[in-house]
Amino acid sequence: MKKPSPLVLDLSEVSADDVAVVGGKCASLGELFRALRSRGVRSVDGFATTSEAYRLLLETDGLGARLRELMSGLDHEDLKALNVAGREARALMLDTPLPVAVNDAILDAYRRLCDRTQRSCEVAVRSSATAEDLPDASFAGQQDTILNVRGEDRLIESCHRCFASLWTDRAISYRAARGFDHFEVALAIGVQPMVRSDLACSGVMFTLDTESGFREAVVINGSWGLGEAIVAGKATPDEWVVFKPTLRTGARPIVSRRLGSKEIKMIYGLDDRGTREVSVVEAQRRRFSLSDYDVLQLAQWACIIEDHYSERAGHAQPMDIEWAKDGRTGELFILQARPETVHATRRENYIETYKLTGEHSAPLATGMAVGEKIGQGRVHVLLDPDSITDFLEGDILVTSMTDPAWEPIMKRAAAIVTDRGGRTCHSAIISRELGLPCIVGTGNATERLATGIEATVSCADGAKGNVYEGNVEYIVERRTMAEEARPRTQVMMNVGDPDHAFALASLPNDGVGLARLEFIINNHIGIHPMALVRYPNLKREEDVREIGRRISEEDPREFFVRCLSEGVGRIAAAFYPKPVIVRMSDFKSNEYARLIGGQEFEPIEENPMLGFRGASRYYDERYQEGFRLECAALQRVREEMGLVNVKAMIPFCRTVEEGERVVALMAQFGCKQGEHELEIYAMCELPANVVFADEFLRVFDGYSIGSNDLTQLALGLDRDSEMVAHLFDERNGAVEKMVAMAIEAAHRAGKKIGICGQAPSDYPEFARFLVERGITSISLNPDTVLQTTHIINEAEAEQQGKRKAAVQSSTEADAAVQSVS
């Protein structure tokens, strides 16, 4: 006689193979509890109803037959009909009592769970569909989760609601759009003790970068209170990025962090039942929700979870993970882990780059960009998903936040803009899945944007997303990632913006030939280094106030070192283990003066281009303490983050003695040449660097030709002057001769030499000239990497052909001589 299928299973009895029995979510919960606790990952006990329990419910009072009749012929694109059918289906489910056997099995498992955990048994009731967390469909948020459920009556009521949530409008639409038979999908329910994150914090994390698909990062989002606030997009969370390869070696590679506004948090209800939302006090909003220790602990667990599921799958399997911190015990817990379904299944052999080309006014609204696309259309400010019929195909959806009820509308949108949310909120996840540009966490888009205006939503401006008035012209460049052979000459990239680094790393490259500190200092710090050194003893009270606002309670020097090291670290992580050459700061005095507090420390110069800049600034008492901070940031990247692929480069070094002085000063500040394989290069951008190249190369480990400055100084012109701009040309014979001399000197010294100026990107013939001269590397602007790599390959092939022809000609000449003799 066949043994009856169980109605309930403890999570200790469930594995990842039991999706058909307990659904994707509960199978994952069981796998976490069973397999990963032994590896140090702290997860939560519990039990799950099975698909057999749902089957019995459908057999009760002819419920299944009535649902089939209701769904027969339904057009899920007809939003009114969908709304009516969904409402009726849920009513049928709730009006049908749970079978006695299912009711008793749930209560028996609940009592055993309370005995086992020996604690007050408030639980989370979590839906788990048998078609959930599949490689090509996440079903994220399609069914309900109910938190802080206490007592047996509330538990049964909540389980009944969960079963009914399989028939929400969004779930019906989602299944139909992806070709799933409604009656081939069953719903199980997971029941677990609550982690008291209402007294601490919670969040989600991914084992890849959710924007670029970069696989070597763990991205962690966190906010105060229960995690539903993040997932639903009600709170804009904190964010950290941790680099996996050096984390595994014991380093502490937090390469990025962003403080979220964390507007609200979800906590237990007033009667200790259910949940409620409260505003977060200002002091809490200005603090990160996790310590660095906790961030690194979560990242380590994420790596363990990814390794486990990758081993089971037989291939790399990025994961989407929920976590929580218990405010009573201080312990971290993993609540859920499921396969990431957007980037993991993407198999594109091309790169699309969106660029604004038209003129535009200042942005109407700004937030966090999700993706890198641009969208246009008519703005539609919509605060209630029930007004779905008013929303037209191709409109821009502007709302406070979204949840799964919004998905039928989101599918019609040209772009999505929300007041709240972070990069892992519902709006962000679904927009990635739909391939839509999305901006989250604007704070005020619903107030700043008016229904009916035409607008452009741009996620192509870096980490910030901007909404511009009108239809701003833009282009889309699609570059095929052809399988082209790597040239002998190294092809590197010029990178300044850390936020773009993960995406750029997917281009074929040999590393970064120029990472500019100026972009990070200007955009991520915004304060003059010496103003931070002297804070709060500054002359201008407004500078003191603004610096205090920006650094909050952080030590001012630590603020600079942390921000700079994380910016450099993100670039270095993106290209690891390839070399990343970081040029120390090369602001001119007029540029430094524009930073907050800068006017107090900068001279007024007639010609800043030739004044107090580069190496001469570093050892001068007016900036030496600022340079100490730069060195401290570099040291942290290499030693604490483990990113030893970072090299240093000194710009505008006028004399050999100056070079020696700077190298000695760097050693004094913790960056000793040769220690832990630290290499220090110099920019070759002055005629003196060429004339005395042999001497300079005895001080430095290599050269990088700065063709912009070398051209202006060789030709005696100001490259910022439009009066002589027509004379500025790196292909001028004098410039090419100087470049050739520098390359020859590097060959004599056995040192590396590259170029990081604009010329190779602009002029293919100049790139050929460099290849012919035997340059080690060419560092290019990212948008020219593919085509210039092809040119370099052609130049190397031509050169090889000429050598072969020369050898053959010589051989034939020798043969002719021998024949005559």
Catalytically active residues, by annotation: 426, 756
- The sign of the dihedral angle between the CA atoms of 582, 587, 593, 595 is negative
d(CA 640, CA 394): 48
Query: What is Dmax (Cα atoms) for the chain?
Result: 112
CA 119 to chain centre: 39
Amino acid at 32: L
Q: Which of 402, 382, 404, 400 is nearest to 391 (CA)?
A: 382
* Number of residues written out for the chain: 821
Amino acid at 760: P
Going edge to edge, which strands form the sheet with 238-243?
254-258, 238-243, 217-224, 201-206, 319-325, 332-339
Residue 777 contacts residue 801 (beta carbons within 8 Å): no
d(CA 68, CA 72): 6
Question: Can you tell me whether residue 472 is helix, strand or coil?
Answer: coil
- 709: CB partners within 8 A, 6+ apart: 652, 683, 685, 686, 719
Residue 220 contacts residue 203 (beta carbons within 8 Å): yes
d(CA 520, CA 795): 35
Secondary structure element (H or E) that encloses residue 648, with its range: strand 646-650
Q: Which of 248, 142, 262, 139 is nearest to 202 (CA)?
A: 262
List the structure tokens of 94.
């709730």
Residue 354 contacts residue 460 (beta carbons within 8 Å): yes
Burial grade of 6 (CB within 10 A; 0-12, 13-18, 19 or more): middle
Q: Which of 404, 306, 269, 275 is nearest to 36 (CA)?
A: 306
**Beta strand segments in 29-106, E:** 47-49
Which residue is it, tokens 């939302």?
A: 277
- 619: CB partners within 8 A, 6+ apart: 627, 658, 661, 662, 665
d(CA 753, CA 734): 19
List the structure tokens of 791.
């040119």
Amino acid at 717: L
Long-range contacts of 731-737 (CB under 8 A, 24+ apart): 731/759, 731/763, 731/765, 731/766, 731/769, 735/707, 735/710, 735/711, 736/769
Q: Which of 780, 792, 790 is nearest to 493 (CA)?
A: 780
- 265: CB partners within 8 A, 6+ apart: 198, 223, 224, 225, 226, 229, 235, 277, 278, 280
